[in-house]
Amino acid sequence: MESDTQSTRMARLKKLCRNYFREAMEISIRSVLLLISTAVLSLIVLYFYGILWHIYGLTHSGKKFIMLQPEAANRISNIVNNDLIEISIHTTFSAFTICLIICAICRVTYIKRFFYYPRNTIGKLLFWGLPLTAIVSMYVNDQIQWAHWSYTVPITIVPTLCVFTYCFQFSEALLPEIGDIVGIIFNGVKRFFSTTTPQER
């Protein structure tokens, strides 16, 4: 009887592991597709920025801005004249990594349940999207070493807003909340001691 119970538990555990592995593989594929599509969209936006900047530089107000703010104009020119493919890939990967880490922390610590679920799309965009964009911009700015992180907001806002909702979904699918973790550990310890305790005859 006891061996049947243990074999049932092992079969259930193997099934859970297979389901989790299948879910993780599916999320990995979705993550790759998300990164590729976001990087392409970010590249298009960066090219659009470059076109707008060159058109603006031909106008009277644009020439005046370049004369009065040469440092800012030089930074913008460095962005649009740089390797835009590399910038789009770097910002997309940075946004995905940072958002996934923060979303995982929010999932485990119940923050997501109380501060993400109750909000509508606009609320999520304002309460989560913009602050996450600022965090990603600070990280990218630390690597580029510009004067202020606000200069990197235009190049990080598109990838961050594209990936942060998916990062919340991925973290929910792969990670339990801390209460569930404590419950799993408690039940495992309880079952362990119940099987090792000698039964009375």
Question: Taking 90 as the threshold, does the pLDDT of residue 186 lie above it?
Answer: no
How far, in Å, CA of 107 to CA of 180, rounded? 11
User: Which residue bears the tokens 């940075």?
Assistant: 94
What is the mean predicted confidence (pLDDT) over 171-179? 85
Which range is most confident: 58-62, 69-73, 151-155, 158-162? 158-162
* Confidence grade of residue 165 (pLDDT, cut at 50, 70, 90): very high
Read off the pTM. Answer: 0.82
Give yes or no for residue 199 having a pLDDT over 60: no
Range with the poorest average pLDDT among 28-32, 155-159, 174-178 = 174-178
Instruction: Report the C-alpha gap between 169 and 167 in whole angstroms.
Output: 5
DSSP assignment of the chain = -HHHHHHHHHHHHHHHHHHHHHHHHHHHHHHHHHHHHHHHHHHHHHHHHHHHHHHHHHSHHHHHHHHH-HHHHHHHHHHHTS-HHHHHHHHHHHHHHHHHHHHHHHHHTTHHHHHTTTS-HHHHIIIIIHHHHHHHHHHHHHHHT-S-GGGGHHHHHHHHHHHHHHHHHHHHHH---HHHHHHHHHHHHHHHHHHHSPPP-
Do 129 and 139 contact (CB within 8 A), yes or no? no
Q: Binning pLDDT at 50, 70 and 90, where does residue 185 land?
A: low
Whether the Cβ atoms of residue 77 and residue 142 lie closer than 8 Å to each other? no
Q: pLDDT above 70 covers what percent of the chain?
A: 85
Q: What pLDDT does 77 receive?
A: 82
Question: Which of 59-68, 80-89, 95-104, 138-147 reaches the highest mean pLDDT?
Answer: 95-104
Give which of 80, 79, 87, 57 is closest to 69, Cα–Cα: 57
pLDDT band at 6 (very low <50, low <70, confident <90, very high): low
Q: How confident is the model at residue 175 (pLDDT cuts 50, 70, 90)?
A: confident
pLDDT band at residue 200, thresholds of 50, 70 and 90? very low
